[in-house]
């Protein structure tokens, strides 16, 4: 009982004030106080003062001062008091514990995120748990695209992110390379003197960064033999791999040469035959037309090589060592000719451009046979010499001959050493230049023949009589004329034929060469007794009412006056009545000489078939088989209104239906009767029942149509109504025309209603 009373854990043992530096309690203090309180079952001592005094004395005996002892006791009591409070409120402890745990977890999470995330070079971009763990991915949202990290470039990459949905944070992703490169090498076969780099030994490699390749020694290929070196592959991070490599210097791959002219396939075939087993041969930047050195790479396979990779590296020379080849021609030529070496050579062949030159130029001014040589030299100095045979004929390349005569120089050779190709009648050649084709022993050649005329014509004239005013042509005076070319004739001075009498006339004859000859004859001018000549008169025909063009195609010409007027007498022709009539044509010259001609004019009656033919031409354009009766009537109405013009000229045809309708079709104008007649013809031909209706006035008549559409009669007037009341009259009823006659044009449609059928 006394021990419990004297326990320093009793919170009621002291009411003294504790210094601030002693009030900082740890979590273990709280735990110890709580455990002690539990063990003692909250036993309190009412006499804590005595216990404290005895305890303090005991402690003081151990060397502590009284004040210090008091403070220690006070601290224990404070702990007990706090433990009791903790027991009374357990939720506080739980909250504090959770707060501490959350703080530790948050601190650890932040520490984890602040560390760099390492990505191996060459691998796919990844942030490890930050991407794969759902909880971490929820707490830390990556704002930047992880795939944008270039894992081929070493170094840091900053990624923006958000913690807990609102705290901005920056992650660091470091691309690093810790893996040594992987390298596959091959054995090299090379030619003497080849230049090889370390990369030539590499078949393939694998690494996240770029590599550099070096050799541990000098590559020597000056002599035939084998060698070994070490290949060192180092990446950007300094990781390296060393592989032994082997090479063989071969005489077969040294001094390789191909002839210019082979295409790439041919060169590959030739190079592939250097060693057995060569495959995959490639030539760097090959140009089959250019000589030079080209690098070659190839693989080689064979049973004796096993699975090892062997690569060939060598170069070859594309060279031109062949001289040009060609075919040559031999020639026959006239004196003074020229011949280029290019003309003498055909089928020239070489892989490079060639130049051609005469070894010794031919003598084109020496008649007879001679031999010349053409030298062909290619671009690389190879040359060939070709023999050319020439025969120079005693004949100039350009000849001149008088018209009607053959050149003497040419006729001596034709039939001997030369043969004419083509027309050889040289005397018949017209004036001018002609190209002659000639053949010798070796070839054909051409010469130019210039035909000239230097001899004037021989002219003989005769005397002439002519009527007053009629001038004869110069040719009329010519009795005869001879020349080797065509001759034209003109007056030296044109004579006057306006006065009776006899006159001297001089005629000039001019040939194609411009040579002239003159001669004089007598011209006697006498009185004109010759009438004009009328041409173009023919019989005519027309239908009743047609207008006839009598003068069409008719002319009259007089030797003295030229073209004269033709007079027409058609007064006996009545175009309104069918029958046969005569029309007379008369022409006069200034001397009073007259010419007459006549023709028959047949006036044919207009019949129903005539009108039907004309109507069919129009209906075929405006009517279709699918139209209703009303639509057909409207098409006819529109055609008449658009194509006929009003005129009183044809008023004389009123009462003559056939003539009026025909006149309307042909002339496209007329009065109201013509409109009625044309409409009647079209309506009837279209199968629409119709009849004539007329105004009940004898002094001012008007005619129009009644049509029966769908069983009912209607007024149908295509003639224009008086302005300004031209409203149209298509299928109007009696009431409608009566309204028009009452309120628009007084009495315009007044008619005897009881005579005609009524409209609806």
User: What gap in Å lies between CA 323 and CA 351, rounded to an integer?
Assistant: 9
- β-bridge mates for residue 175, sequence order: 119, 155
Q: For the chain, what is the mean pLDDT? A: 83
State the greatest distance between any 2 C-alpha atoms of the chain, in Å, as a whole number.
Answer: 197
Read off the pLDDT of residues 513-523 as tens digits, 9 standing for 90 and up.
999 999 999 99
Burial code of 499-510, b = ≥16 C-beta within 10 A, e = fewer? Answer: eeeeeebbbbbb
Predicted confidence (pLDDT) at residue 420 exceeds the cutoff of 90: no
Sign (positive or negative) of CA dihedral 213, 218, 222, 225: negative
Q: Coil, helix or strand for 389?
A: strand
Report yes or no: 507 and 489 within 8 Å, Cβ to Cβ.
yes
**In the 3-class helix/strand/coil scheme, how is 487-554 assigned residue by residue?**
EEEEECCCCCCCCCEEEEEEEEEEECCCCEEEEEEEEEEECCCCCCEEECCCCEEEECCCCCCCCCCC
Which of residues 133 and 490 earns the better pLDDT score? 490
Confidence of residue 244 (pLDDT cuts 50, 70, 90): very high
Number of Cβ within a 10 Å radius of residue 560: 20
Read off the pLDDT of residues 95-147 as tens digits, 9 standing for 90 and up.
777 777 777 766 666 666 667 878 877 777 776 656 666 666 666 777 777 77
Which of residues 21 and 616 earns the better pLDDT score? 616
Most confident of 12-16, 121-125, 409-413: 409-413
Confidence of residue 195 (pLDDT cuts 50, 70, 90): confident
Average pLDDT over residues 526-537: 92
User: What gap in Å lies between CA 348 and CA 330, rounded to an integer?
Assistant: 15
Report yes or no: 268 and 281 within 8 Å, Cβ to Cβ.
yes
- Non-local CB neighbours of 529 within 8 Å, separated by 6+ positions: 467, 591, 593
Which of residues 596 and 47 earns the better pLDDT score? 596
- The predicted pLDDT at position 197 comes to 83
Average pLDDT over residues 467-491: 93
DSSP for 438-449, please give it.
Answer: EE-SS-EEEEEE
Predicted confidence (pLDDT) at residue 176 exceeds the cutoff of 70: yes
CA nearest to 705, candidates 721, 720, 693, 687:
693
Class of residue 735 by CB neighbours under 10 A (exposed 0-12, middle 13-18, buried 19+): exposed
User: What gap in Å lies between CA 47 and CA 750, rounded to an integer?
Assistant: 153
Considering the entire predicted model, what is its pTM? 0.39
Predicted confidence (pLDDT) at residue 212 exceeds the cutoff of 80: yes
Lowest-confidence segment of 126-130, 168-172, 688-692 by average pLDDT: 126-130
User: What gap in Å lies between CA 555 and CA 565, rounded to an integer?
Assistant: 8
């Amino acid at each position: 009982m006394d021990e419990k009373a004297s326990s320093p854990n009793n919170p009621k043992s002291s009411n003294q004030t504790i210094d601030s530096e002693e009030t900082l309690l740890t979590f273990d203090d709280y735990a110890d106080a709580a455990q002690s309180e539990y063990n003692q079952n909250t036993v309190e001592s009412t006499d804590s003062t005595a216990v404290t005094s005895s305890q303090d004395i005991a402690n003081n005996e151990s060397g502590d001062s009284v004040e210090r002892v008091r403070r220690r006791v006070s601290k224990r009591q404070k702990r007990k008091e706090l433990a009791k409070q903790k027991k009374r409120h357990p939720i506080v402890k739980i909250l504090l514990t959770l707060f501490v745990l959350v703080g530790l977890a948050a601190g650890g999470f932040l520490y984890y995120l602040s560390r760099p995330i390492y990505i191996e070079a060459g691998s796919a971009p990844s942030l490890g748990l930050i991407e794969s763990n759902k909880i971490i991915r929820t707490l830390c949202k990556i704002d930047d695209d992880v795939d944008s990290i270039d894992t081929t470039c070493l170094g840091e990459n900053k990624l923006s992110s958000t913690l807990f949905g609102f705290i901005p944070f920056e992650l660091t992703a470091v691309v690093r390379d810790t893996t040594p490169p992987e390298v596959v090498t091959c054995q090299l076969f090379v030619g003497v003197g080849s230049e090889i780099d370390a990369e030539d030994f590499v078949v393939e490699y694998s690494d996240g960064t770029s590599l550099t390749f070096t050799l541990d020694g000098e590559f020597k290929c000056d002599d035939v033999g084998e060698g070994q070196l070490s290949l060192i592959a180092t990446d950007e991070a300094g990781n390296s791999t060393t592989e032994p490599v082997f090479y063989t210097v071969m005489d077969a791959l040294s001094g390789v040469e191909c002839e210019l002219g082979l295409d790439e396939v041919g060169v590959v075939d030739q190079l592939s035959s250097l060693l057995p087993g060569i495959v995959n041969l490639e030539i760097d930047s090959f140009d089959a037309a250019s000589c030079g050195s080209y690098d070659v790479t190839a693989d080689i396979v064979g049973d004796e090589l096993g699975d090892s990779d062997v690569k060939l590296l060598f170069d070859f020379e594309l060279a031109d060592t062949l001289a040009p080849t060609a075919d040559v021609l031999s020639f026959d030529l006239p004196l003074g000719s020229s011949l280029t070496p290019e003309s003498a050579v055909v089928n020239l062949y070489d892989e490079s451009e060639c130049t051609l030159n005469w070894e010794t130029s031919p003598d084109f001014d020496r008649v007879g046979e001679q031999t010349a040589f053409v030298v062909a030299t290619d671009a690389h100095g190879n040359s060939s010499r070709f023999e050319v045979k020439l025969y120079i004929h005693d004949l100039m390349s350009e000849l001149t001959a008088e018209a009607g005569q053959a050149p003497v120089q040419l006729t001596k050779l034709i039939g001997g050493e030369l043969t004419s190709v083509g027309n050889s009648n040289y005397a018949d050649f017209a004036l001018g230049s002609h190209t002659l084709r000639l053949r010798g022993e070796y070839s054909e050649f051409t010469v130019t023949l210039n035909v000239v005329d230097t001899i004037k014509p021989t002219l003989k004239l005769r005397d002439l009589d002519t009527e007053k005013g009629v001038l004869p042509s110069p040719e009329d005076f010519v009795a005869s004329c001879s020349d080797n070319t065509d001759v034209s004739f003109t007056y030296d001075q044109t004579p006057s034929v306006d006065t009776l009498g006899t006159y001297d006339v001089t005629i000039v004859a001019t040939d194609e060469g411009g040579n002239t000859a003159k001669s004089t004859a007598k011209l006697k001018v006498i009185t004109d007794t010759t009438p004009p000549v009328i041409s173009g008169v023919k019989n005519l025909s027309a239908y009743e009412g047609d207008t006839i063009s009598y003068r069409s195609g008719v002319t009259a010409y007089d030797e003295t006056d030229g073209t004269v007027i033709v007079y027409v007498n058609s007064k006996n022709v009545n175009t309104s009545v069918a029958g046969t009539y005569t029309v007379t044509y008369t022409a006069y010259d200034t001397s009073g000489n007259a010419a007459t001609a006549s023709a028959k004019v047949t006036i044919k009656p207009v019949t129903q078939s005539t009108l039907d033919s004309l109507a069919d031409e129009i209906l075929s354009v405006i009517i279709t088989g699918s139209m209703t009766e009303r639509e057909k009537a409207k098409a006819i109405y529109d055609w008449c209104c658009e194509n006929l013009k009003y005129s009183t000229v044809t008023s004389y045809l009123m009462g003559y239906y056939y003539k009026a309708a025909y006149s309307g079709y042909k002339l496209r104008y007329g009065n109201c009767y013509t409109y009625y007649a044309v409409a009647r013809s079209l309506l009837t031909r279209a199968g629409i029942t119709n009849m004539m209706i007329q105004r009940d006035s004898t002094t001012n008549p008007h005619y129009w149509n009644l049509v029966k559409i769908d069983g009912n009669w209607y007024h149908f007037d295509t003639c224009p109504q008086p302005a300004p009341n031209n409203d149209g009259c298509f299928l109007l009823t009696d009431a409608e025309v009566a309204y028009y006659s009452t309120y628009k044009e007084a009495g315009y449609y007044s008619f005897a209603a009881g005579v005609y059928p009524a409209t609806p």
